[in-house]
Amino acid sequence: MALNIAKTRNFGIVAHIDSGKTTVSERILYYTGKKHKIGEVHDGGASTDWMKEEQERGITITAAAVFAQWRGHDINLIDTPGHVDFTAEVERSCRVLDGAVVVFCAVAGVQAQSETVWRQANKYTVPRLVFVNKMDRMGANFDNVVVQVKSRLAGNPVPIQMPVGAGDDFSGIIDLIKMKYMTFEGEKGEDQVENEIPANLKAEAEKRRIGMMDAVASYCGDDEIETAYLDNGTLSNEQIMKGLLKGCMAFKLQPMLCGAALRNKGIQMLLDAVVDILPNPRDAHAIKQYDVDDLLKTKPIPTVCDPKLPLRAMVFKIMNMPTLGDVSFVRVYQGIIKEGDALVAAGTTRTERVSRMVKLVGLSSTKVEEAGAGDICAMVGLKGTQTGDTLVHQSDQKPGVLEGISFAKPVITMAIEPKSNADKEKMAYALARLEREDPTFKKWTDPETSQLIIAGMGELHLEVLSHRIRDEYKVDAVVGKPRVSYRQTITKAIEVRGKHVKQSGGRGQYGDCVVKIRPLTTEEKAAGHEFIFENATRGGSVPKEYIKPIEEGIRNELARGYELPFPVINVHVALIDGSFHDVDSSEHAFVAAGALAMRTAYPQIGVQVLEPWMNVEVETPDQFTGSVMGSLQSKRAMITETVDRGVNKIIRSEVPLAEMFGYTTDLRSLSQGRASYSMEPAEYKPVPNSMIEKLKKAEGTVKAD
């Protein structure tokens, strides 16, 4: 059956950890009829949290894509993790979503990871609704969250609902558009009942409706609606909905709703808002594509949500599922995929045959014959496809590549070794599978120690992955302590020659290059570059076949590091000249010349050691504020802000990652177990000179071993 694009919604649920995202997702599945029983996160029964690690920890680790229907609309819903260690899951989800529901806890409000997911939604221009959850919790305050969305996220929230009561007294929701009081009856709140607004709440509801209409008229960007409001002092319900839709799609406002997912209140109204306000795939922001030969991506080509055009589909997630095996989640932007089609990853020669396509709800799958423009589906059994690949039909003569997904670089490393030779092969297989699934997970062998190193986004990330290696892939392994992923960079520019000449009888070796080396600019770093190589030679002084070997030699030397075994990043190298020998020149000789140029430059380009710093937010009862701040300052923290949140104090700071190992235990002992913290990567900063010698000794000890 062909997809009805106008009645399709691709949206995700994003939030700070423990705001109730997965609980909201479970209620959506229940009310849309996809489940006959509500699964709870706290007892490991949530459909979207099917992994053993998720069920044991009670958190979402991997983004789960599920399919449902509401009011005749097809809904592709992605439930994303809230923990910063798994932020790549939010990144890839935001990339393929047409809208998002940002969930906030009515008590905690805007938290650290809330800011991260809001920035990710901004980055990929994702329209969003705001859902204030946990209105049934003691201390819940809807209006406080409205203020925080404005002040901390620079958002423009427009409440379209008014909660009736809070905490134990939360009884229902007033719909400010229909001006009705909604209650939720039945065992699971399945009966949404429309009532007249109680007399004692009528005046407040009218006041809030006027505020809503004023905001819609001011920010929706529709002159007709603005004029109607100025002329009449009011708007019809149709005009309000049209204004909310236009303002939401233009990122000028965010409609704000409320509820209590655990108590089954407000979810049906949220679903109504999703289909009425969030855009369909055709109206959503357009994604660009580029010709495969346009390597610098200077000539964007529009992508049109039309099933009749050539196929453009993005693989945004790959995972191994116990019931299906290898599953690739795909967003179709243009064209159509049918079972049996031969596909190619654009820009490569990797051909894949579509053997089976499914829609998922947790571990349950429903077979589908095709997926058209605007749809999200899962394909089973693709072997060589990577995250971020653009899939096109094998017969496509002019394939285009969709703009990709950018992922953060790992900040923490850990050694891992199989306990026996029998486990070596299983370990290699497990690591290769995990690296394919998770773009923020990396592995390599340390050239100095021959140890196998894995790298990720945090202690929890590596802990979960090491548990998966043990439990899913049955590998007995010994893991080392987590270590900080240091980097090095350069501070000066230089022109230098690398000339590799060897003569030892017979054919010799001759490679010669002249390069200009400089630090990357702020703009180049902001674009996600860590190394840029530019061929600026003229007149064929270096033959074309030797350009890549020079770059390879320089890359090898940068990866090896200078004095300390940490990669050197944020470097621009321009090849400006060189020479060659008709007989003695070879690719190997020019690899050596490139490496020699870099080694020659190192002592003169001001190499600086960098360490990752984290944005840390601690929430603590007021009486422990002094102890917590003192503890942070002893860890080289820079305190940036302290604010009140009810009876608690929020302390925001920047702290070197090296100082944060084991901080959970420290914080518990400082606060009698009542404080909590969250952190996310901020930036790399220079390591103080006083610590450089310690690092050299530590690395020297490792080498000696």
DSSP codes of every residue in 263-311: GTBSHHHHHHHHHHHSPPTTTSPPPEEEETT-TT--S-EE----TTSPP
Query: CB-based burial of residue 666 (10 Å sphere; 0-12 exposed, 13-18 middle, 19+ buried)?
Result: middle
Whether residue 692 is predicted with pLDDT greater than 80 in this model: the reply is yes
| Single pTM value for the model | 0.74
**Mean pLDDT, rounded, for 570-576:** 96
> 38 pLDDT exceeds 50?
no
CA distance linking residue 119 with residue 102, whole number of Å: 12
Q: Does residue 362 or residue 254 have the better pLDDT?
A: 254
Closest residue by Cα to residue 694 from 656, 663, 667, 664: 656
Average predicted confidence (pLDDT) for the chain: 88
Averaged over 613-641, what is the pLDDT? 93
CA 304 to chain centroid, in Å, comes to 25
Class of residue 465 by CB neighbours under 10 A (exposed 0-12, middle 13-18, buried 19+): buried
Q: Residue 41's pLDDT is what? A: 43
Sign of the C-alpha dihedral computed for residues 228, 230, 236 and 237 taken in this order: positive
The helices-and-strands tally (H runs, E runs) of the chain is: 17, 39
Query: CA-to-CA distance for 599 and 604, rounded, in angstroms?
Result: 10
**Per-residue model confidence as pLDDT tens digits over 105-128:** 999 898 877 887 888 888 888 999
Please provide residue 518's backbone torsions phi and psi, each rounded to the nearest 5 degrees.
Answer: -150, 160
CA distance linking residue 686 with residue 490, whole number of Å: 11
The CA distance from 434 to 411, in Å, is: 17
Residue 176 CA to chain centroid, in angstroms? 34
Q: Give the per-residue pLDDT at 37.
A: 45
* CA dist., res. 377 & res. 329, Å (int): 6
In tens, the pLDDT along 605-617 reads 999 999 999 999 8
Residue 355 has pLDDT above 80, yes or no: yes
- Tokens coding 660: 């944060």
The per-residue pLDDT for 593 is 97
Q: What is the mean pLDDT of residues 75-102?
A: 78
Rounded average pLDDT over 423-434: 90
Residue 171 one-letter amino acid: S
Mean pLDDT of 522-543: 89
User: CB–CB of 97/299 below 8 Å?
Assistant: no
What does the alpha-carbon distance between residue 417 and residue 681 come to, in Å, rounded to a whole number?
Answer: 27
Q: What is the mean pLDDT of residues 328-338?
A: 94
Instruction: Please report the pLDDT score of residue 54 as a whole number.
Output: 44
- Is the CB of residue 461 less than 8 Å from the CB of residue 454? no
Residue in the block written with tokens 């998770």: 438
Highest mean pLDDT, choosing among 70-79, 305-314, 476-485, 675-684: 305-314
Quickly state the pLDDT bin for 40 (edges 50, 70, 90). Answer: very low
Task: State the pLDDT confidence band at 62, using cuts at 50, 70 and 90.
Answer: low
Nearest C-alpha neighbor of 315 from the set 371, 249, 398: 371
Q: Region 296-304: what's the mean pLDDT?
A: 87
Q: Determine whether 566 is exposed, middle or buried from the number of CB atoms within 10 Å of its CB (0-12, 13-18, 19+).
A: buried
d(CA 651, CA 644): 9
Q: How far, in Å, CA of 615 to CA of 655, rounded?
A: 7
Which has the minimum average pLDDT: 39-43, 202-206, 506-510?
39-43
CA–CA separation, 490 and 566 (whole Å): 13
Tens-digit pLDDT profile for residues 139-158: 999 999 999 999 989 999 99
Please provide residue 389's backbone torsions phi and psi, each rounded to the nearest 5 degrees. -65, 145
pLDDT at 47: 46
- Region of poorest pLDDT, from 29-43, 244-258, 607-621, 691-705: 29-43
pLDDT tens readout for residues 8-28: 999 988 887 778 888 888 888
Angle, CA 217 vertex, CA 215 and CA 221 arms, to 5° = 110
Q: Are 22 and 109 spatial neighbours (Cβ–Cβ below 8 Å)?
A: no
Contact of 125 with 96, CB cutoff 8 Å:
no
Q: Which tens digits make up the pLDDT trace of 450-496?
A: 788 898 887 888 888 888 888 888 999 888 888 888 999 999 999 99
* H or E segment to which residue 329 belongs: strand 325-334
- Give the chain's length: 705
Going by pLDDT thresholds of 50, 70 and 90, the confidence category of residue 78 is confident
Summarize the chain as % helix, strand, coil (round to 5): 35, 30, 35
pLDDT of residue 52: 52
Q: Confirm if 371 and 354 have CB atoms less than 8 A apart.
A: no
Query: 251-260, 564-573, 692-701: which has the minimum mean pLDDT?
Result: 692-701
Q: Judge whether 148 and 110 are in contact, CB under 8 Å.
A: yes
Please give the order of strands across the beta sheet that includes 351-353: 351-353, 342-345, 390-393, 312-321, 325-334, 376-380, 356-361, 364-368
Which range has the worst mean pLDDT, 67-71, 453-457, 554-558?
A: 453-457
Side-chain-side CA neighbours of 281 within 13 Å: the count stands at 29
pLDDT over 50 (residue 513): yes
3-state secondary structure 178-239: CCEEEEEECCCCCEEEEECCCHHHHHHHHHHHHHHHHHHHHHCCCHHHHHHHHHHCCCCHHH
Residue 53 has pLDDT above 70, yes or no: no
The answer to whether residues 317 and 386 touch, using CB atoms and an 8 Å cutoff, is no
Give the C-alpha separation, 71 to 6, whole Å. Answer: 13
- Cβ(117)–Cβ(78) below 8 Å: no
Average pLDDT for 344-349: 89
pLDDT at 685 over 80: yes
* Listed residue (127, 20, 10, 22) closest to 64, CA to CA: 22
Residue 704: the pLDDT is 34
Q: Which of 86-95, 432-441, 599-608 has the highest mean pLDDT?
A: 599-608
